[in-house]
Amino acid sequence: MLQLAPHRLLGALAENVAKTIGLTAIAKRALRRGECGGVRWVDQSLESNVRHVRHIASLVESHVNVRNRVGAEIGPGDNLGASYCLLKAGASKIYAVEKFGSVAADAHCERLFMAIDAEVAGNVTASEVLQRGESWLRFNRAQLQHAHCLFEDFSPDEPIDFIYSHDVIEHVNPRSVFLHASEILTAGGDFLNVIDLTGHGVFYDLKRPLDFLTCPDWLWPMLFSAMETTNRVRWSELLQLAEDTGFQIIHAKPIRRADPNYLASIRPHLLPRYQALTDDDLSVMQCVLHLRKL
């Protein structure tokens, strides 16, 4: 049985219709707010931006040797700080692959890079990676290159040694992304993802993270056909997919799980295919998945 209050259901239906017919885009243009798939980091404090990207970069470095290697970030949104931190850690070049037009060489990006410089020593500085002219800013493409496209359409100028994403894989077709990652990675290349397996949009509630798995398949597109939301892929599916697409699993670890009491209470309401999953599989709310191309 669907676990969603009627007023929230109606609100989600209306929001999806508004986006489908273009009203959301008109409103965003009027407010000069560009499309962005996740958190609008430009609206957050500089301190929270730096803290966020340093966390991502630290996680990548704890699993992957980035020094003198070419990497790609899937879905950076409007925040290229993690890519910049990895350049400072010794990566030779990073591609920022983003389907929305949210990546920009602008004043916010410059402030962020300079704030990172104030905290982190490294091989590069903001003025090297983000070059300034009299009336323009641009990325030094030898170090940081923006690819405005779906990841599946990303065609790098050179072989890629590592790929990473943070809270992105849950929004995409994971099979096509895994297959393309395997195609463009060098032999032995690393593919590292932090994946959020909880509900999004109207179902976002960390106390009730699996309510979205009660939504019937016929209703799901009526709520989310035009919205950025979760693909509802579960932990065991990701592990199987990694093996099916030619990767060796180096490290696979759930880092957040649903409360056991909540899990027991929601299980009878889940769609049958999710009821069939074990508690160990179903309870995973967020995970780290480090893969290596064979």
**DSSP class per residue in 187-220:** EEEEEEEEEE-S--GGG--TTSTTGGGGS-TTTH
Q: What is the mean pLDDT of residues 213-242?
A: 95
Question: pLDDT tens for residues 139-183?
Answer: 999 999 999 999 999 999 999 999 999 999 999 999 999 999 999
Least confident of 24-38, 226-240, 260-274: 24-38
pLDDT score recorded for residue 31: 55
Whole-model pTM: value is: 0.93
Q: How confident is the model at residue 196 (pLDDT cuts 50, 70, 90)?
A: very high
The b-or-e profile of 131-142 (16+ CB within 10 A means b, else e) is eeeeeeeebbee
Confidence of residue 16 (pLDDT cuts 50, 70, 90): very high
Rounded Cα gap, residues 174 and 241, in angstroms: 8
Average pLDDT over residues 90-119: 94
Residue 38 confidence (pLDDT) above 90: no
Q: Please report which helix (H) or strand (E) contains residue 6, including its range.
A: helix 6-20
What type of residue is 238? L
Question: Please, what is the average pLDDT of the chain?
Answer: 93
| pLDDT at residue 188, rounded to an integer | 97
Distances from the Cα of 266 to the Cα of 3, 275, 279, angstroms: 9, 9, 11
Candidates 2.40.50.100, 3.40.50.10440, 3.20.20.150, 3.40.50.150; correct CATH number of 34-197+233-293?
3.40.50.150
- The number of residues in the chain equals 294
CA-wise closest residue to 160 among 279, 74, 39: 74
User: Cα dihedral sign for 184, 188, 193, 197?
Assistant: positive
CB atoms within 10 A of CB 58: 12
Residue 46 has pLDDT above 80, yes or no: yes
Q: How far apart are CA 251 and CA 63, in angstroms?
A: 9
**Domain ranges for the chain:** 34-197+233-293
pLDDT score, position 37: 65
